[in-house]
Chains A and B, each alone.
Chain A
Amino acid sequence: MNSHDVTVAGYAMIASAGMGLEVLAHRAGSRIPSLRRVFRHLMQSRSGRVGVVAAWAWLGMHYFVR
């Protein structure tokens, strides 16, 4: 297993952790909020909403814009 594989495995583990949290969040009585609820809470102010949407817009810009 070389360093490339280790790095990719790290990303995969983080993604798996996120998916695991989302699954746990949907269990009855869970204290973990769903990702939708976290976003909704974060976007309850204008600064939060603009920040999140600007990050999304920047992501598209990063991958496609000159």
Chain B
Amino acid sequence: MTEPDPVGSIGNEAAGRRGDELSGHDETQRAFLTTAREPILIAIFLLAGIFDLLSGDPIVHGAALFAIAGALAFDATIGRREEPTARPAVVRPALSPTLVVLAVAYAVFIGSFARYSWPSSLAVVAVGAAGVAIAWRRPIGPDPDPTLLDPAGTMAWVGVFVVLALWELSALLLQPSLTTASQAHPTISTLMDPVLATHLGRSITLVLWLAFGWFLVDP
């Protein structure tokens, strides 16, 4: 005669099976997201490059977006995959008063130059290229929080960014032409024009840009 199961071991086994199933489901979901991430990123950069060229921006801006898409495609297909421990991890140094002063000095000095001038172009390209180089060479460390993101919660963020992209696109398409800015249907770039026309506005924008880059070193 079988003894009753006061501690619910059968239930525990069932829970364990459910856990295994969930774990398997998580792994499947994780594998799908890992596989889909690169094509989605490449498609985003290609689309951004196409619309950037159509909007009349300098060719080099669109070319940069296409170059990023190409580099990501290369890395995803025939690029060399590095072992996570191949290089020491890039550790973001602590935010010290010296770094803050340097960043503000950079922003104030570079902001003193007109937009699209050679000094501002070189200074921003140098910092941006350094950021991309660090991102490219940095080893992939262990995820500090390996649990999957909640799909519904993640979709809320995806929704915000997709709506923003569509709103920006609609403003662009409602301009008199793709290359003519409109105050009636301003894009974010058009709204930023008066801000970036002043030294103070350029400096504040540069500080925010540097701060966001700093955040991205180790989010």
Contacts and interface: CB of A to CB of B under 8 A. Distances in A.
Interface of A: 2-4, 7-8, 10-11, 14, 17-18, 21, 25, 30-33, 35-54, 56-66
A7 B186 contact: yes
Interface string B120-164: 110111011101101110101001110001101110110010011
B205 A49 contact: no
Chain B binding surface, main DSSP class: helix
Contacts of A48: 37, 41
A5 to B, nearest CB: 10
B124 A14 contact: no
Nearest to A35: B157
Contacts of A44: 140, 143
B191 interface: yes
A54 to B, nearest CB: 4
Category for how many chain B residues contact A: 35 or more
A58 B128 CA distance: 8
A61 B64 CA distance: 9
B57 A62 contact: yes
Nearest to A10: B167
A64 B186 contact: no
Contact of A14 (B123, B167, B202, B209): B167
Given A50-B135, A50-B136, A65 B216 contact: no
B179 to A, nearest CB: 15
A64 B188 CA distance: 14
25 contacts: A7-B186, A11-B164, A11-B191, A14-B163, A18-B160, A31-B152, A32-B156, A33-B157, A37-B145, A47-B76, A49-B135, A50-B72, A50-B136, A51-B41, A54-B45, A56-B131, A56-B212, A57-B131, A58-B61, A59-B209, A61-B128, A63-B196, A64-B123, A64-B206, A65-B58
